[in-house]
Amino acid sequence: MKNKILKITQLGQPVLRQPSKPVPLPLSRVHDRLIDDMIRAMKKAKGVGIAAPQVGIGLQLFIVAPEPSVRYPKAPTMPPVAMINPRLVKHSTKIVTDWEGCLSIPGLRARVPRYHSLEIEFTDRKGRRLVGKLSGFVARIFQHEFDHIHGNVYLDRVRDTRTFMTEAEFRKRRS
């Protein structure tokens, strides 16, 4: 089957506001291909993560793949990791507020509070149940994508709406 570039779902589409269903395990070929297609869509859009609802599919699946870019120049580099049926096991009390944007809400940025560090559990694409600890920017990506599979977007977490700005204005202020 030919690889396809999936279209990014935009805010307003109902799938972005609905809780996702668990991915049936073991992973089917269809779901394995979906992971590859999601990674391609994320890279084409220059994102650092993407969740299945962002490509119109209500499943508990997302990709975490930070790398430096125009949007996130200080991001660490990490190969794409598919996180299937993830769980947030524990989080720090420390909260850090920083800038976020979203592929499903293009052209907008705001400051979002997130836990600094996390303990997580997820199934990888080989079917292994893994546990891990994340901190900083990678923990922020996990929480952003985790929100997507629960029907939430970063706008829901913004505490001060005066921090909203366009992507163009954000870039001007960052350079």
Annotated catalytic residue: which of 100, 119, 145, 169?
Answer: 145
CA–CA separation, 64 and 83 (whole Å): 8
Type and span of the H or E element at 166: strand 165-166
E strands, 7-153, in order: 49-51, 61-64, 81-91, 95-102, 105-115, 117-123, 129-135
CA–CA separation, 98 and 112 (whole Å): 5
Residue 85 to residues 72, 90, 101, 132, Cα–Cα distance (Å): 26, 16, 23, 14
Please, what's the b/e burial string for 21-48 (b: 16 or more CB within 10 A of its CB; e: otherwise)?
A: eebeeebeeebeebbebbbbbbeebebb
Q: Is 145 a catalytic residue?
A: yes
The residues carrying an active-site annotation are 145
